[in-house]
Amino acid sequence: MTASSETRGLAVVTGASTGMGAATARELARRGFHVLAGVRRDSDGAPLRAAGVEPVILDITDPDHIAALAARVERDPRPLRALVNNAGIPGAGPVEVTPLSQWRRIFEVNLFGHVAVTQALLPALLRGRGRVVNITSLNGKVSMAGYGPYASSKFAMEAVSDALRNELAPHGVQVVVVEPGGVKTEMSRAGIAALGRLDDGMTPEQNARYGALMQAIPSHVAAFTRAGVTAEVAAKTIAKAVTDRRPRTRYTVGAAAALLVRASRILPDRMLDRMTTSDLRRHYPAATRSRTTSAHTA
């Protein structure tokens, strides 16, 4: 991607109402792209318009919205240079107690919606020799107790990205993954609220198994978010993935993501389990910490 193409091309960013998506839309507009930013409501678009971004109403699970976006891209004489698949929802909870309806919703947004948008925009990306940038997560490489539903959807998006990268490389379209760790956005707050509803529906037996874990997850998420980078810092890495002349296949965002992604490549599974469990255990209620320690060292 040349510098001149940055000043005349289109970029699509999904999930741009707030957080990383909004920051990425603004950063790409600052770098000269005409950005179509997917937002949930008209009111979400006002701050983006002020930054020179064109908001479009987009729910990536709605076929009509996706068709309208594709039609908007087709009408534009400028080439489509980048698709940033950023939209996503949280999904914490033990595997046993998370309802299948919630699993399906998480995968609809975090996986199938991105596939649908990519399929719809690929003809334009191929013509423009553009780039697909998929925002996955540290949890797309490292999962742990209580994060199974969300991590599963991100692992799946990593696999889709690998397949797509190899399929499109001969045709001039590059596929890049960005793996954020903690980022200071509102997404964690929504996930904690959903976890509370899940907790209310557990049976006494499930509560005996997972009650301490359910208490630990909100504290763990909050601490991880507080230690994370700002959305603006994350957006600069995403923009780098869009504009680097010879991009890496993967970029991490934040020190925690860099460390744990690297650890996942070299450590045995049991050692990685002990590392992630130890980090999570610090957020357990005090009375259960010693029992958890004994169980994982037996």
Residue 230 Cα to chain centre, angstroms: 15
Cβ proximity of 281 and 146 under 8 Å: no
Which of these is catalytic: 147, 150, 210, 284?
Answer: 150
Best CA proximity match to 35, nearest among 44, 43, 26, 46 = 26
- Beta strand 80-85 pairing with 131-135: parallel
Supply angle C-alpha 95, 98, 100, rounded to 5. Answer: 105
Pairing mode of beta strands 174-180, 183-184: unpaired
Strand bridging mode 34-39 / 250-253: unpaired
147 labelled catalytic: no
The CA–CA distances, whole Å, from 77 to 8, 38, 74, 124, 279 equal 10, 20, 8, 11, 51
Q: H or E stretch including 232?
A: helix 231-243
Query: DSSP letters along 163-220, please?
Result: HHHHHHGGGT-EEEEEEE--EESTHHHHHHHHHHHHHHT--HHHHHHHHHHHHHHHHH
The answer to whether the beta carbons of residues 61 and 109 sit under 8 Å apart is: yes
Query: What amino acid positions are annotated as catalytic residues?
Result: 150
